[in-house]
């Protein structure tokens, strides 16, 4: 039996419905991470260039060799409006993989944002542009454009495996990845959790409920309090 090896550049991927992306964008990354099972959050090394930056969209995954951005240029060329580039730069910070020129190109093409497991540059200019860019740091050195890589293959970014088409949501707290099949259920859970947290905050601020209702029960279960005992 013969097997056909997929190409290094996969041009077509299945993308999550834009209505679901818009709904997901309304929730904090912390809410989504909690209701998704406290998994899917990338390493805190990957942070926004400015705390006001937010993004949401389907992942176009890019694997590059450390210090080389050839495949990022290729990914930009085939990405669609609303996509989020998720770039596995192996966490290398010896040079920047992107700067103002490439970010400006992404903005002009309608790309929703970029997540780089590596360094970038021109950070002041990118902050002024307001384009959502998450990276592990900055370095003024430029990259090479020589080495082959892959587009829309699974990548490992900040300790999380990211598949092409996965939902990416990010804000000041960081980046969360959610598998497309789980998004509808995660959004419903997120709505309930946000409602509960809003009620809890109102209770704290009004003074009506200064202690979590679950605290005594959790302490009994942990063996800290005896059955029937309260704080």
Give the pLDDT confidence of 121-166 residue by residue, as tens digits. 999 999 999 999 999 999 999 999 999 999 999 999 999 999 999 9
Residue 111 is predicted with a pLDDT of: 98
Distance between CA atoms of residues 151 and 10, nearest Å = 6
pLDDT of res. 2? 53
Partners of 48 in the β-ladder: 134
Q: Please answer whether residues 58 and 112 qualify as being in contact, where contact means their C-beta atoms are separated by less than 8 angstroms.
A: no
pLDDT-based confidence at residue 230 (cuts at 50, 70, 90): confident
Per CATH, the architecture of 18-180 is what?
3-Layer(bba) Sandwich (3.50)
Hey, what are 207's tokens? 């003074």
Looking at 48-156, list the stretches that DSSP marks H as alpha helix, in order from N- to C-terminal side: 70-78, 100-109, 123-129
- The residues near 98 (Cβ < 8 Å, ≥ 6 apart) are 69, 72, 114, 116, 120, 121, 133
Phi first, then psi, for residue 21 (nearest 5°) are -60, -45
Residue-wise pLDDT for 75-127, tens only, equals 999 999 999 999 999 999 999 999 999 999 999 999 999 999 999 999 999 99
Q: List, in sequence order, the alpha helices (H) in 45-182.
A: 70-78, 100-109, 123-129
CB 13 within 8 A of CB 60: yes
pLDDT given for residue 18 in this prediction? 95
Distance CA 107, CA 116 (A): 16
- Please write the tens of the pLDDT for every residue from 10-54: 999 999 999 999 999 999 999 999 999 999 999 999 999 999 999
pTM (global) more than 0.85: yes
């Amino acid at each position: 039996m013969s097997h056909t090896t997929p190409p290094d550049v996969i041009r077509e991927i299945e993308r999550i419905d834009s209505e679901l992306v818009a709904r997901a964008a309304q929730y904090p990354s912390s809410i989504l991470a909690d209701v998704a099972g406290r998994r899917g959050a990338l390493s805190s090394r990957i942070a926004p260039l400015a705390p006001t930056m937010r993004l949401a969209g389907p992942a176009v995954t890019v694997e590059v060799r450390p210090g080389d951005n050839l495949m990022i240029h290729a990914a930009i060329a085939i990405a669609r409006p609303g996509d989020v580039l998720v770039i596995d730069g192996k966490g290398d910070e010896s040079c920047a993989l992107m700067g103002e020129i490439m970010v400006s190109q992404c903005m002009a093409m309608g790309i929703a944002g970029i997540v780089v497991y590596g360094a970038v540059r021109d950070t002041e200019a990118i902050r002024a542009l307001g384009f959502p860019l998450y990276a592990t740091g900055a370095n003024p050195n430029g990259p090479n454009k020589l080495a082959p890589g892959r587009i829309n293959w699974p990548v490992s970014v900040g300790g999380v495996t990211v598949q092409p088409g996965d939902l990416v949501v990010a804000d000041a707290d960081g980046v969360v990845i959610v598998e497309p099949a789980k998004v509808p259920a995660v959004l419903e859970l997120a709505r309930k959790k946000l409602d509960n947290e809003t009620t809890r905050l109102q209770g704290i601020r009004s003074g009506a409920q200064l202690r979590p209702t679950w605290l005594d029960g959790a302490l009994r279960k942990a063996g800290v309090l005896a059955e029937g005992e309260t704080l």
